Structure 1
Amino acid sequence: MMKKFVEGPWLYRILALFLALLLFGYVNLDEINTTRQTNNNDTQMLATRAETVKVPLQINADTDRYFITGYPQKVKVKLSGPNALVTSAVNTLNFRIIGDLTKLGTGDHTVKLKQTGINKDIKVSIEPKTIKVHIEHKVTKQFPVQVNVKKENLAAGYSIGNPKLSQDVVEVSGAKSAVNAVSQVVATVDPDEGTKKDINEEVLLQAIDRNGKALNVLISPQTVNVKILVQMSKKTLPISLEKTGEKSGYHYSLTTETKSVTVYGGQTALTSMTSFPVSVDLSTITASTTKTVKLALPDNIYESDPNTIKVTINVTPNTTSDSTDLVETPAENGAAQDASRVTDASSSSSSQSSSQASSSKSSGASTAAKQ
């Protein structure tokens, strides 16, 4: 019985029916999903949506004649309406917000903002709705570029050469009052801490007044390329030979063919130096010779060129006389003269006493005779 069923047509009929049912279910399930997705899409398309975006503000004005300040660069725009339209507007931003100043002159003005390019089925709300602007006559002047380098960031002992600019003079445009207040246009170079390498960078320019305050003006070009040579500070100094350790009994004279030396170091140390002292040790020198002396670097001096010099040392013995005992010294000569004066005074006094005694005797004899 089972064998007949398996070999008979009923098995194939049942399998065919089962496969037909599966195919029917698959086809209808796909249609159901498609219908659901279509319905969802239609629902989304018909739904409303609100979205807020920031967009650039477009100013319509005669910018060749006037300079306008006070308005924001961007404004907020709230879009409300059908989901599809709002989504398209947000994704493409194919609309503009405009402040129309074409009919305005100099002075302060309040301007209502308008939109263009947004579908009429979308509700638009702009924030702010109005802007305040200040309009002045526009002027243009030329200014040289001044380079300001933060030298405190350089490595110790290093200094900078003269800056080289891609453009030495730039144009400054803006409101007449602002341009007239410009004191200088500066390119501030801020090197890395401990910089030893040459500087080569693009620097943003800034216009400042006498107090160093930045001004709201347009600079063309806005940047310049600055190249600065960074090197260790240097100074060329005459050499000053100094003797140390001279031996008694000898006379020394020093000469060198090297007349000057270039030293590198801190600017303050270099400024205080007027010559470079070279100390020559003579403690072991008793005959004329040539000696190579290494230059000793003072504080805050890091290198020298050259770092050694050759010094010629001439040595001559000191000579003394053997007959010094026969020569009267000034003190001995003075003492002899004083003794001579005492002797002469004593002789003179004795002579005077004898003369007075003789005179007294003669006078007495004469008196007696008269009596």
Structure 2
Amino acid sequence: MDKFMENPWFIRIISMLLAVLLFVTANDYFGSKKSGTTPNDMENANTETITNVPVEVYYDSENLVVSGIPQTVDVKIEGQKRFVEAAKRQRDFTVYIDLSDEEIGKQRVPILYKDISEKLKVTIEPSYVDISLQEKVTKEFGVEAEFNRSILAEGFEAERPEVEPKTVKITGPKDAIERISYVKATIDASGLISDTIKQNAKVTVLDRELNKLDVLVEPESVLVTIPVTNPRKNVPIKINTTGTPPDDINIKTVSTVTPEVMIFGRTEILQSVDELEVTVDVSDIHEDTEIEVPIKYPLGVNKITPDKIKVKILAEKKLEEKTLKDIKIENKGLSSDLEMELLSPANGTVSLKVTGEKNKLEKAEDSEFHVLLNLEGLKAGEHEVDLVVDGPKDVQWELSTKKVKIRLTEKENV
């Protein structure tokens, strides 16, 4: 044993082992001082999740369109607390997807990150996404205005909408552009509309199944003008009467100075209205009367101008009649040198048919009527002369004979 220990190679091996041990011990000691890794540091290990981190995409945006990229992701970081808190506070790292070398089509790609401390463990949720990389296409489409006609007030209707500009440029993946079936600008109005609508409306792009397409529209909104009108039409007024007038009253005429009015409403309603009727009650009419009558609105008509008319009623007392017979014909103006012979009527009397209100007619007596034959200026010979009646002013009469035949002769000298 002594010889072995005294061997130079033994001493050399022992020295080398001691040197290695010393090196390792010193390196661990100073290394731990440099990195700050202590039992306390291990106890301060932390985990945080940074939410809503935006995702950048690197690709040929001038010629290609990418879809399926999430706007944000959640980033989970694990490590020493001071590194975790710094990363969370500064958020100076980048989450990105690199499609620079990817081919057109659908594919699954990883979500990457950069500019974050290597001392942290990083997990991105989701870590992969399914994307579609397609050729970018721009095409021009006409815009169709659209709105809910139920918002129109009663009687109003909308004319053809006007859109400015009439077309928009739509940019998107080729397959999306090929699926475009409708390009609409929808008016959003509240309440009932009774006047022209003029409003900026966002353009919506839809496929045949009315699914909204994810495309870029330029401009995003258009000015939509929808003329709203209240159609009108002139129609005649028909006056009807109801009720029975008093026994002694006769209704001569019922008329108006407004023979027609203007009605307002939707076209199909106006086409069904040819006239408007108003009804006047004459049961309490005793004399000429003027009244104002409202016009009833037909269903669907929202306005009438005027909506009231004046109706004029002409009324008169009912007349009765009686005949006065054998009223003697009187003459006047006969020259003193002439004599008159009544040829017709031979009996020298006539009858009078007298017409008037009942109470006045009852007062009319025969003695109040004088049937006169005016002979003034007549010379000898046969004549046909008109009869004249002098009687009460509040009744009317008619002669049974209006003319008589007479013969005038000169008197003989005695």
TM-score range, shorter chain: 0.5 to 0.7
Distance 2:316 2:64 in 1: 90
Aligned position for 1:58: 56
**Long gaps (5+) in structure 1:** 1-42, 323-371
Aligned position for 1:240: 237
SS at match of 1:136: strand
Q: Deviations over 1:153-211 (max 9, x none)?
A: 56666655766666443221111222122222223334446677986765433111233
Contact 2:261/2:305 (8 A) holds in 1: no
Contact 1:240/1:275 (8 A) holds in 2: no
- Matched to 1:51, the amino acid is E
Aligned position for 1:298: 298
Shift of 1:107: 1.3
- Matched to 2:269, the amino acid is L
Between 203-212 and 276-285, report the one with greater CA deviation: 276-285
Instruction: Map residues 322-337 of structure 1 onto 2, 5 A cutoff.
Output: none
Shift of 1:136: 2.0
Distance 2:90 2:82 in 1: 12
Shift of 1:291: 4.9
Percent of aligned pairs sharing the same letter: 25
Aligned position for 2:72: 74
Aligned position for 2:263: 262
- Matched to 1:307, the amino acid is D
Distance 1:313 1:143 in 2: 67
Higher fraction of strand:
2
Number of equivalences = 277
**Residues 272 and 257 of structure 1: is their aligned pair in 2 closer, same or farther, counting only changes over 3 Å?**
closer
Distance 2:304 2:298 in 1: 10
- Matched to 1:295, the amino acid is I
Higher fraction of helix:
1
1:88 to 74, 86, 89: 86
- TM-score normalised per structure 1: 0.59
Shift of 1:101: 1.3
Distance 1:94 1:227 in 2: 49
Distance 1:45 1:263 in 2: 86
Distance 1:211 1:127 in 2: 33
1:218 to 216, 219, 227: 216
SS at match of 2:48: strand
1:118 to 108, 116, 119: 116
- Matched to 2:108, the amino acid is T
- TM-score normalised per structure 2: 0.54
Shift of 1:124: 1.5
Distance 1:214 1:317 in 2: 81
Shift of 1:129: 2.3
**Long gaps (5+) in structure 2:** 1-39, 323-414
Shift of 1:260: 3.3
Shift of 1:51: 1.3
Contact 2:155/2:264 (8 A) holds in 1: no
Shift of 1:143: 2.6
RMSD: 4.2
SS at match of 1:261: strand
Distance 2:43 2:189 in 1: 60
- Matched to 1:217, the amino acid is V
Aligned position for 2:332: none
Instruction: Map residues 276-315 of structure 1 onto 2, 5 A cutoff.
Output: 276-281=275-280, 283=282, 291-311=291-311
Shift of 1:144: 3.2
Distance 2:93 2:275 in 1: 76
Contact 1:251/1:318 (8 A) holds in 2: no
Distance 1:317 1:181 in 2: 85
Q: Deviations over 1:106-146 (max 9, x none)?
A: 21122222212212222222222222211222211223333
